[in-house]
Every structure is written in structure tokens, then in C-alpha cells.
Chain A
Amino acid sequence: MSVLVNKDTRLVVQGITGSAGSFHTIQCMEYGTNVVAGVTPGKGGQKFQDSVPVFDTVQEAVDKQGANVAAIYVPPPFAADSILEAIDAEIPLIIAITEGIPVRDMAEVKARLSTSNSRLIGPNCPGIITPGECKIGIMPGYIHKPGKVGIVSRSGTLTYEAVWQITSAGHGQSTCIGIGGDPINGTSHLDAVKLFNEDPETEAIILIGEIGGTAEEEAAAFIKEHVNKPCAAFIAGRTAPPGRRMGHAGAIVSGGKGTAEAKVEALLDAGISVAETPSHMAEALFKVWNP
């Protein structure tokens, strides 16, 4: 078991013929992900890698191939439009990898999402993986191992650190969800924690956050009240200067809000084991979880 994606996932890749889209789609296919369609407007009728049909629209990919998850590698000026197209085609799960989408576009997407049944993950994220079953996104597949730890994170490489520490210790992951580093995203820490909490195969949770916003605090409050599974966390950006965006568009301390200290405090208050350094994420989990 796992959350959101598994061996039954039927993936359509929007922007499949672009350089990032084609490269990562091949990687995902090699991992075993069931890629059933691609979409590039104007290139309908082609075959990607001689096997995957390419369509002009997402609706065709749904109608003809039964696609139920969309991955988006479309460049930032057009990415919001691609998300909206996937929502209109009633794709239940949309994963936007694209980095650099204007905030205004995401505000519009978010408003549309609230009146749909689709879930968006990202944008500006590494994607989602259920080890051994389905990899959607840009993460290196081989560091993962099927197992019982659910990981949710705003950062790609920081997730790989956590995954690698768990795998190196002989354990594995149920599902890893990269929710992305943008100020407006589709799925929050809280949403992911709820999914992991309800998943019987996820025994423990690692939550990786960073400065900016209050998403980590909201997840901590929920964990305090509703989650009995062991949880560990790490927050990046304790040394970040206020008022500067640290790479991710959403990683900024402004007006005294979104500090690492406030997040760590909320996590500790919820009884979560907080790692002092990024090298100690697995260690922090093993303090509260005996697999």
C-alpha cells in the first residue's frame, strides 16, 4: 500500500517531447512507471520512444488511454495553462514539476482547483514516488526502497538526503511526496500528513520543511491532535537572513513571519522528533520509531 500513486497509475506526461519532459519520462519508464500517453499540442499522432502515443490534448489522453495521473514538464510561461487543461479533463492527480511559474498564475489555478475534484502536487517539486511501483518526477529512483516511512518535503535534494539515510539504515519508504518550494502550491504538508496518517502501510512520517509561510505549523497542529504514528522533522533555513528569498520562491522570512525557530517550536510542541542537522533526519526518526 501507499498513497496517491502505485502500480495501477496510468500516467500522461504533458510536455513529453521537450528536453526535460523526454529525459525524465524515459527515466520513469525505466523505473517501471506505466506511461500511457504524452501531450504536446501540434505533435498529436507521434509515438514517444516508439511506444507511447502523443496527443494534442489531455482530454484525448484520458478518452483513448485512460490516463488518471498527469505529470507536467511544460515551461513556466505555459505551465499554468497545462494544469488548467488537466483539471478540465478531470484528471484526479496532477503533478507539476515546472519551476518558475508566476505566483499570479498559481493563484488562478488554485481558485480553479477549489471547484474541481483534482489534486495538484507542486509546482516546483521533484514529484512523487512509491518505491518499487511508480516514480513520477525527477528524483533518482535507485536511492529508494519499498518500506514503511512516508516522507513529505518542500525540497528535492533534501528529500533525497532523508530517503538515502532511511535506505542506508536498511529501511524503506511507503511514498515520498515533494510538495514544492513555491509560496502557492496544490498539496500542503498538512494534506500529505493526513494521507500518510490514513495509509495503513505507512508506519512513520518524516516532514521536511523550510523557512517561509506557516504550512509546517499547520501540519504540526494536526499531528498533535490526530496522529499517533511516530513523526520526525527537519526545518532548513535557521541561518537564512530575513527578507531574502533563499532559492525557492516561497523560502523567505518576511515581517518576522515564517522563521525556522517558530516552526521548530511548533513541531517540538506537537511531540515531533526534530533533527538538529540534515545529517540526522533518520536518526531523529529512529528515536521515536522502532521498526
Chain B
Amino acid sequence: MNVHEYQAKQLFADAGVAVPSGTVAQSVDQIDQALSSFSSDQAVVVKAQIHAGGRGKGTFTNGFKGGVHVVTNLEEAKDKAQNMLGNILVTKQTGEEGKEVGTVYFTEASDIDKEFYLAILMDRATSKPIIIASTEGGVDIEEVAENTPDKIFKVLIDPALGIRPYQARQIAFALGLSGESFKQCVKLVSKLYAFFWSKDCSQVEVNPLVLTPTGDVLALDAKVNFDSNALFRHPDVVSLRDISEEDPKEVEASKFDLNYIALDGNVACMVNGAGLAMATMDIIKHYGGSPANFLDVGGGANEEQVENAFRILVSDDAVKAILVNIFGGIMKCDVIATGIVNAARKLEMKVPLVVRLEGTNVEAGKKILADSGLALEPADSLAEAAEKVVKLAAQS
């Protein structure tokens, strides 16, 4: 689960991680109030709050340029915020349709002496949290890792012991800090790790972490991702979820425990099991088609879930054909077949449907499909099903 920058900064502040102070406005009439905590001639950064990156270089559909502005007075700040709120921002990460900006974040502009990079994530190779720091901040860290790997500094944390003071010092030394700045950095790294661990983050990223001319060390940006498996123990985090940032079809699917991800092709698919669902997308592509989605209905899907899955699939206007691929193990093929037939009747489905069933009670399942009188295409193997569905999608 992702949160907005202003929410991440608030969480940082609550956790004792130094951030510049800031306020938000969620409607035009909140702007004056939000700006009242700044002095009138103060430099302010105005930031559109959407989850996608590339905001600074984005363009609003109303023609206004840039989702991040540094201004020198409050009049200007107000003007920029008015142009952002309620308007659609398109960045390289949002896709053409863009994202509506519901919140604008005002933060004091910090003078910057140096920019660093700091992140904490779970390292799969070692099964341990890893802290990554670099003197090259404010730029694309993947490029730094590629071109100058010696400028990336890593510290592995033992999950049973947690971060130790010497490890926080290692980071501060690697960033070349000294004196009061060194102390501030050690504290910030320790607090950030405590936050990462206690809130079940899958990643926290500070890019840039800055050193100001007066020697302060601050998190100028904040990106936080939470482990969705752990949200049950963090109701405070769940309350920060912004549904408007998610694909409506994905939100709808999650209500029925369906694992759905929207893609931009025209062949929809419904599959049991995540690995098989991915492989089904791949085989659609292999036979020249383009998958419209990933959909895993899980190991024990019932009729209601199958029906809702179909409803979500056909709500995508781009979908020209649907492939159902079920390997019935615990989930019996005759039960699935009944669910498919009932859902297809209820929804009066118009798009062609190719069904491939295999596994427990497969003959009974195939008979139910054949006897239904519905115009659905059975297939014996996944390869045959994929070829058929791609052909049907191209025809319709």
C-alpha cells in the first residue's frame, strides 16, 4: 500500500525523523488557512499530491505546467495551488488519463548544501532489512548503482537485533558528515529504521536527504510502501489509503477477494492461482494477443466470486474476448462450470468466451458447459484455448 508524500512526512515527523514543516489544502478555500503558518515573504514549495512520480515535469490537462513549484511569496503559492487543485495532472507514470489532484502540499523551501540518498527495504537475497545510502542524492539511484556502484553504501540489519548504533554511524560516515550534522544523521537513520520496522514497511525512500548550510540533516522527500500482508496490525496506516489513486476495477475486485490487475490489452482472462494467471497472460501474448488483465480467483473460489469476476472483466470496454483457465484441484471443475454458466446467463455476456477446464471432475464440468446452450468455446489444452481466444478477439 502506498501513501501520499504529505502523509509519509507526517508519519516521519511522528516517528522523530526530521522533515521540513508543511501544511496541506484539499480545496481552494483551505489554501489561505494552509498558508497562514508561513511568513508572507517566505520561499515555499507547492507540491501536487498524487502517488505517481514525475510530478515536477508533469502537465495539467488545463494547460498548467508542473506539479511541483518553488515560489518566493505566498501570493504566488496560492496561485499555483489554485491551478492544481481539482485538476488532472499527467506525468510519465500516470498514463495519458492522468490523476486528479485532491491535495496540495505546502512546505518550507530548504536551502541545500548537499543532497544524499537514503532507503531501507527488505533484501530478498539475505532475508534481512538493508539500508542503502549514497552521496549521490536527488537523482535516479538506479543510474548511480549502474554507473558508479562504489558510491552506493549498504548495511544489512539483523532482524533479531535491530539497528545498532555503529551501523547508523557507518551510514553517517559514508555520507561524509561530521560534528552536529553527523549526530543528526545517526539519529535520523536510527529513527527511520525504527519506523520501517514497527510499521511493517516494505520500503522507505528518502531522495533527497539533505544537508542545509546551517548543518541540519533533513528528509526533503519521503516515499513509503507498506507490506499489505501486515495491514491488519496497522489500522492507522489503513486509514491513510486513498482509493481514488487506485484503479476502480482493482478496488472493486478487492472487495470480493479477487486478485485483479488492469492491463491495456483486449483479451481478458480469469485463472486460479497467481503463477498460472501470469503464465496465462504470457501464453495469450505468445499467440499474438494482448492481455487485458491479471486475475487470480484463488484456490477456493465460489460461484459468487466467479460472477463478480466476470462482471469486472466485462466492465472493461476494451475487452473483446475472455479466456477462462482453471486447473481444478481442490476447486472442482463441475462447480466452476456451474458458476461460469450462471454468471454468463445473469450478465447476458456478449463477448466470446473460451473455457479451458482441467482437473477434478473435468468431464462433468465440460458436460455442464456443453449442455448450457451458451455460445462458449471449450478447449482441451491451454495452448489451444489461447490460440482460440486470440483469434476471437481479433475477429470481434
Contact = CB atoms under 8 A, between A and B. Distances in A.
18 contacts: A103-B229, A103-B230, A104-B230, A111-B160, A138-B299, A154-B275, A155-B274, A157-B272, A158-B275, A238-B285, A239-B285, A246-B261, A246-B274, A246-B294, A250-B124, A251-B275, A255-B142, A279-B383
B304 interface: no
B77 to A, nearest CB: 32
B229 A157 contact: no
Given A277-B286, A279-B382, A157 B327 contact: yes
Contact of A160 (B228, B280, B285, B329): B329
Contacts, number: 175
Interface stretch (A34-42, A43-51, A205-213): A205-213
Given A164-B327, A247-B275, A251-B275, 11 more contacts: A103-B230, A107-B127, A138-B299, A159-B275, A181-B275, A213-B125, A214-B125, A234-B279, A236-B278, A238-B282, A248-B275
Interface in B200-257: 200, 202, 227-230, 232-233
B389 to A, nearest CB: 13
A274 interface: no
B376 interface: no
Nearest to B127: A110
Interface of B: 122, 124-125, 127-129, 142, 158-160, 197, 200, 202, 227-230, 232-233, 259, 261, 263, 271-286, 291, 294, 296, 299, 327-330, 358-360, 381-383, 386
A100 to B, nearest CB: 5
A103 B129 CA distance: 10
A102 B227 contact: yes
A84 to B, nearest CB: 12
Nearest to B129: A107
A256 B142 contact: yes
A140 interface: yes
- Nearest first, the 8 closest Cβ-Cβ pairs linking A and B are A155-B275, A247-B274, A157-B273, A102-B230, A140-B329, A279-B383, A158-B275, A278-B279
B318 to A, nearest CB: 15
Given A77-B233, A107-B129, A138-B329, A102 B200 contact: yes
Interface in A1-50: 24, 27
Contacts of A153: 275
Contacts of A277: 279, 282-283, 286, 382-383, 386
Contacts of B277: 246-247
Nearest to A110: B127
A277 to B, nearest CB: 5
Interface string A107-133: 110111000000000000000000000
A160 B329 CA distance: 8
A56 interface: no
A108 B160 contact: yes
A65 B200 CA distance: 38
Contact of B159 (A108, A244, A247): A108
